[in-house]
Amino acid sequence: MQLSYFRRVAAGGAVAALAFAGVGAFTATPAYAATSKVSVVHGIPDTPVDVYVNGKKTLDNFKPGDVAGPLNLEEGDYDIALTKPGEPIGSAILKVDNAAVPGGANISIAAHLDAAGQPKITPFVNDVSKVDAGKARLIVRHTAAAPEVDVRAGGTPVFKNLTNPNEAKGDVDAGNVKADVVLAGTDTVAIGPADLNLKEGTATIVYAIGSAEGKTLDVVAQTITGLHSAPGGVPSGDGGQAGTGVNTWWYVLTGAGVLLLLGGGVRMATARTGRK
């Protein structure tokens, strides 16, 4: 009877000691994304268009060099058609039927010239994974009627042998960089140089557009924000003058208290058993 009482007290002391060390945790639950974000990039020189999605006019008089969106589209197949402004969908200049849009993705649909100079539509899936703190993502897409190219930053090739309709990408230190595009393996500048401001925690997507032959080479840029990560921590003190909480002796004292209670209880119990 007495023993069980004291055991309870001892146990209570131990629980109290643990409770002081407890810290509340914060958990964030990501929202479920059922739709995809879709942007449209216009990279065909001198050709403003109307854009139809599933037979419905979505963009009116969409101009070369412009970026539209992002639109939230549910997962599924879409018919995309481009017409000259004001013309009926029946006389579309470019058409893609049943373009598959997956769920939860970030997609850019580029209307551009292929390497031979013919208009085409290419979907790109954008890498919207987080970048490390202090970093920015640079994505370059070759969507011009031009041969293989290298992309240089500060005069040094960073992406080599890029061909239409492909992309190259990398996460780099955020900040300003002077970039240009040269014919692969040469110093012959095709586009640029241009100053790129790569903002931390964003993806900058640069499309090379136009035609080398038509001397209409140019760039279109699209920026995706919100890819930043927090720093790994905020270390801001190593002096110890502001320390709170308990010292080692506190644990010794608590441990001794618990042992004394247990020991005393056990002795008392054995003493009683012995008397019986």
* Segment 229 to 268, residues that bind another protein, using CB under 8 A: 229-246, 250, 253-254, 256-265, 267-268
Residue with tokens 């240089």: 152
- Report which of 99, 108, 61, 116 is spatially closest to residue 83, judged by C-alpha positions: 61
The answer to whether the beta carbons of residues 99 and 128 sit under 8 Å apart is: no
Question: What whole-number distance in Å separates Cα of residue 195 and Cα of residue 192?
Answer: 9
Q: Is 129 in the site for another protein (CB under 8 A)?
A: no
Minimum Å distance from CB 65 to another protein? 5
Q: Is 186 in the site for another protein (CB under 8 A)?
A: no
Q: Between residues 189 and 260, which has the closer beta carbon with respect to another protein? A: 260
Q: Between residues 54 and 161, which has the closer beta carbon with respect to another protein? A: 54
Question: What whole-number distance in Å separates Cα of residue 268 and Cα of residue 34?
Answer: 67
Minimum Å distance from CB 132 to another protein? 7
Q: Is 219 in the site for another protein (CB under 8 A)?
A: yes
> 197 — phi, psi (to 5°)?
-100, 100
**Site for another protein, residues 62 to 91, rule: CB under 8 A:** 62, 65-73
Q: Is 45 in the site for another protein (CB under 8 A)?
A: no
For the beta sheet containing 167-173, the strands, ordered from the edge strand earlier in sequence to the opposite edge, are 167-173, 135-142, 203-209, 218-224
Q: Between residues 124 and 186, which has the closer beta carbon with respect to another protein? A: 124
